[in-house]
């Protein structure tokens, strides 16, 4: 019973965090369009993808949204985090080699804003605070 409540709490946290990150990405796109038109929008979108894809990999690898996985050992965490880091490095490399952003300021701003949403996570879960 306690594990089920914890799984539901984790799922709610992941869904709220991902929703907030997508809202930040959309806000960045809407702010970039009047300034730099489509090249700015493309830079923000690639920065958002570089931030969101490794997080999605981590969530899938840890099995946070799946109720089937019960083992939460440190090895799973280490492997998921190492994979997330490797995917981030690969995506940064691919972006700058294959499709360099036309405006690096928009690219890095979007990336940093989405990654820093984890710092706002306690406010996203106000109902579940513990004293």
What does each of the 131 residues of the chain score in pLDDT, given as a tens digit? Answer: 666 777 788 888 888 899 999 999 999 999 999 999 999 999 999 999 999 999 999 989 888 777 665 556 678 889 999 999 999 999 999 999 998 888 999 999 999 999 999 887 677 666 655 54
Helix-, strand-, coil-residue percentages of the chain, each rounded to 5: 85, 0, 15
Q: What is the pLDDT of residue 45?
A: 96
Domain ranges, ordered by start, for the chain:
2-126
In 3D space, the residue among 77, 88, 90 whose CA is nearest the CA of residue 114 turns out to be 88
pTM: 0.84
């Amino acid at each position: 019973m306690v594990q089920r409540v914890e799984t539901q709490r984790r799922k709610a946290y992941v869904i709220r965090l991902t929703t907030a990150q997508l809202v930040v990405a959309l806000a960045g796109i809407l702010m970039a369009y009047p300034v730099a038109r489509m090249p700015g929008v493309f830079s923000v979108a690639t920065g958002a993808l570089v931030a969101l894809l490794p997080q999605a990999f981590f969530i899938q690898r840890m099995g946070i949204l799946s109720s089937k996985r019960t083992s939460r050992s440190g090895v799973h965490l280490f492997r998921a985090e190492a994979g997330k880091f490797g995917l981030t490095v690969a995506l940064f490399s691919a972006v700058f080699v294959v499709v360099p952003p036309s405006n690096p300021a928009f690219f890095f701003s979007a990336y940093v804003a989405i990654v820093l949403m984890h710092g706002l996570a306690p406010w996203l879960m106000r109902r579940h605070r513990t004293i």
